[in-house]
Amino acid sequence: MVFLRPYFHTTFDLSRKRILDNIQRNLKEIMAYPDVHVKNSTPYQVINGKVNYASAFCSDDRFQIAPNGDWSNRRGVCLITQVYATVVYNGREVRATPYSSSGTSYSEYAILETSPGAFAITRMVTGVEDSDVGVLEAEPTEFQK
């Protein structure tokens, strides 16, 4: 029996380690912001794109996006301060007006052509605040109360 004890102890330690690793992994996912997502809504190539984060502990992300393509990346608990991009328009590089913030948890951005040869990066919104709430009924009558 003495020989079995170390085996079970080691097995228990490995199982406990796996459980703790899973808990840590799940906590990181729960505590993380949604992935940053940049949509290129133009028919032009995006080069030299960059997402800047608020903390020195967060590494900035660089990206390139094909015409009408998109890019995503995990960012953990990092707040976004700026999103930059350079668009190749008729053979020349045009810097899009960047998105800037003091530090935001918003995660969805789009590169738009604001006029021929001019581009901007904007935060995408879902439009939930403008959704149809259905038919509003009149107040109940005294009889219905």
Helix, strand and coil percent figures for the chain, each rounded to 5: 20, 40, 40
pLDDT of residue 92: 96
Q: Which of 94, 66, 100 is nearest to 80 (CA)?
A: 100
Same domain, 51 and 112: yes
Distances (CA, A) of 4 to 7, 11, 100: 5, 11, 62
Same domain, 20 and 69: no
pLDDT of residue 128: 53
Q: Which of 104, 97, 43 is nearest to 75 (CA)?
A: 104
3-state secondary structure of 62: strand
pLDDT of residue 142: 59
Other CB atoms within a 10 A radius of the CB of residue 8 amount to 9
**Domains contained in the chain, number:** 2
State the CATH number of the domain containing residue 53.
2.60.40.2890
pLDDT of residue 30: 63
- CA–CA dist 68, 64 (Å, integer): 12
Residue with tokens 């020349």: 92
Same domain, 91 and 113: yes
Write out the two tokens for 64. Answer: 């390139």
Contact 78, 91 (CB under 8 A): no
Rg (CA), the chain: 25
Structural domain of 11 = 1-31
Q: Indicate the pTM of the whole model.
A: 0.68
Same domain, 23 and 43: no
Residue range 71-113, pLDDT digits in tens: 999 998 899 999 999 999 999 999 999 999 999 999 999 999 9
Ranges of residues in the chain with a pLDDT under 50 are 1-2, 4-5, 7-9, 130-131, 133, 136, 138, 144-145
Same domain, 49 and 115: yes
pLDDT of residue 42: 97
Same domain, 25 and 88: no
